[in-house]
Chain A
Amino acid sequence: MTVIELDDIYKTYTESVVPVHAVNGVSVGIDKGEFTAIVGPSGCGKTTLLNMIGGLDAPTKGKIRIEGEDISRLSDKQLVDFRLHNIGFVFQAYNLIPVLTVRENIRFIMELEHRDSKEMQQRVEYLLEKLDMKDKLNVRPKYLSGGQQQRVAVARALASHPKFVLADEPTANLDSHATEVLLELMATMNKEEEMTFIFSTHDQRVMDKARRIITLEDGKVVGDAKTGI
């Protein structure tokens, strides 16, 4: 079942003197539970595409439907709610909240959703167990390595059981072991909770795990293939 439909999407940035056409007529459908990597050279529009799927940016032209709903018609407030309840974001630069501990960072989105305290506690413990970080529960991000911070960032994105996880170069700064742990967790969530994952990446290790690879060049889809995994 197709849950994300990109219908002839264009995105042009006009802030600079010369307009930048970041995305040029992308039409793609993504099914529920996919584990998809969007690849391509720098500046090909991967991040822009992810931002538009996540409702952070609006397309200049075209429609994005998520579970049948055209998100470009949502108000700013509705988009915030939509992101909160449906999407987990993972950023290249971790972007944890520095004043919160590991536990508080992971709980954060669930707190915004006013989830039950016991449920939040169980979820945090489960994710930290999976990430082998139970001993870092009350540690603040600045005391963690880059790999550990990214694991917490992934746990935060997964904690509230989002339907979609959008990860922008999540492994760019990680070593092999950290990448392995993260991809393992995401694969588990994909399988157990049927979360749909979309990565933008240059990382071969991520591409090796992906079941579908969409290749972008100059804002256009130049390749779209199932990997057979």
Chain B
Amino acid sequence: MIEVSGLTKQFDVRTVLNCLNLSIDTGEIFGLLGPNGAGKTTTIRLLTMLTKPSGGIIRINGLSFEKNEQQIKSLLGIVPQHLNLDIELTARENLELHGRLHGIPTAERNRRITELLEFVELTDRSGDMVQTFSGGMKRRLMIARALLHRPKVLFLDEPTVGLDPQVRRRIWELVRHLASEGMTVLLTTHYIEEAQALCQRVAIIDKGHLIALDTPQTLCQGLGEYVVDWEENEQRHNKFFPNRVDAASYSASLTTTVIIRRSNLEDVFVELTGRKVVER
């Protein structure tokens, strides 16, 4: 569904994305993982035509960006990181504006708006001005808006940032539901558990470079499925093992308190970059 080859973006002399190659299948939930400033949002902006690439090729559904701008735009649904709803309109009017911009006929548009407001549980607030909504409600409305024209690809840029755990899990459920219906989902996140819980494959980006790409399980197994954490001389240490038995026998040899746990994408990131995902 999405083919990216040699995608590069430079702002003056600063390279924010360097020769990215990706191929994302139809119906896949694909995650871009990395710290702030890694190049995740730039990648989304490039794939949604909000930013022009300095180099490389992008194809969506077999269509190249150069000649099929309007056609490609109608295939994409985008939920940006920032809240960009029109605060001078009601929830329903925001959806109506989007539907009109995408040329959805009136009867279908009205039916679809009603369905989606129900889907994101905002039916009873449909006539309220968006500025009275909480952050979670706005995020849900943005998802409804992105889905209104039945896009084939949904881009979610940090979809759960700043939301409480309950709302975050509701959005995860929505994303899984959409992918099960055949929609391709590309999401960026710096929440490790989000990438691990949702994504079938993950690309880890750091300083504009792709440093790993695989399923979360394979990336973790590459390090070792189990990890032993311990502290010594006020320094934290860890060691990876292919199974729990090996991890347990190693911990027995240590004289300090240890924690045995499963490895995760944070470990992968730290091993590959020497830094944590949430660090600058």
A and B part of one assembly: no
Chain A residues near B (Cβ < 8 Å): none
